[in-house]
Amino acid sequence: MELSEALFKRRSVRKFTAEPVSEENVLELLHAGMSGPSACNKTPWEFFVITKPEVLEKLRKAARYSKIEAPLAIVVCGNLSKALPSQLSPFWIQDCSAATENILLRAVDLELGAVWCGIHPMKTAEKNVREALSLPEKFIPLNIIYIGHPSEEPEARDQFNEKKVHYIK
């Protein structure tokens, strides 16, 4: 799909069929995620790929907005042992967000649907996801991306708003 089409077709999809996402498509999503930029190219990300029903159930209970039935979840985590020391380390959030956007766009391209459920920095949700995945201390869950074959198709949307543009010329 053309990039410009995928950008506007990318909408939050929260209803999915029971059809699993193929292993091939999972790999395509992960390649997309890891192609993103990162501060000083530290790639401070980890990707948890969850299809186990009991764990998906725990993720649904992890946060107010995470109650979504999907055959697949990818939890994008920051790896603080890989991140830069001192004042640069908070960049993992930005790096993992760019990786997440790449995954969402590639999902559209693969005719999948997806939704980004924010976890970090909501402390209770973070703790719940940490427990559900038995995360080591150094990994911080940024979000849960639910992915599947869509059973709803929100319309493509352009949210351009000229009031948000400030020219200095």
Q: Which of 109, 113, 129, 141 binds its own copies (CB under 8 A)?
A: 109
Which residues, in sequence order, are bridge partners of residue 114? 12, 147
CA of residue 103 relative to chain centroid, distance: 7
Work out whether 61 is an interface residue with its own copies (CB under 8 A): no
Q: Which of residues 125-164 bind its own copies (CB under 8 A)?
A: 133, 142-143, 157-161, 164
20 DSSP assignment: P
Site size for its own copies (CB under 8 A) = 65
Work out whether 4 is an interface residue with its own copies (CB under 8 A): yes
Q: What is the torsional sign of CA 74, 132, 20, 48?
A: positive
**What is the three-class DSSP state of 134?**
coil
DSSP run (H or E) holding 41: none
Q: Which of 60, 113, 116, 150 binds its own copies (CB under 8 A)?
A: 116
Q: Which of 13, 16, 25, 47 binds its own copies (CB under 8 A)?
A: 47
Name the token pair of 93: 């959030």
56 contacts 101 by C-beta, under 8 angstroms: no
**What is the three-class DSSP state of 158?**
coil
Among residues 85 and 166, whose Cβ is nearest to its own copies? 166
Contact positions toward its own copies, by CB under 8 A?
1-4, 6-8, 10, 12, 28, 30-32, 34-37, 39, 43, 45-52, 55, 79, 87-88, 90-91, 93-95, 97-98, 100-102, 104-106, 108-109, 116, 118, 121-123, 133, 142-143, 157-161, 164-169
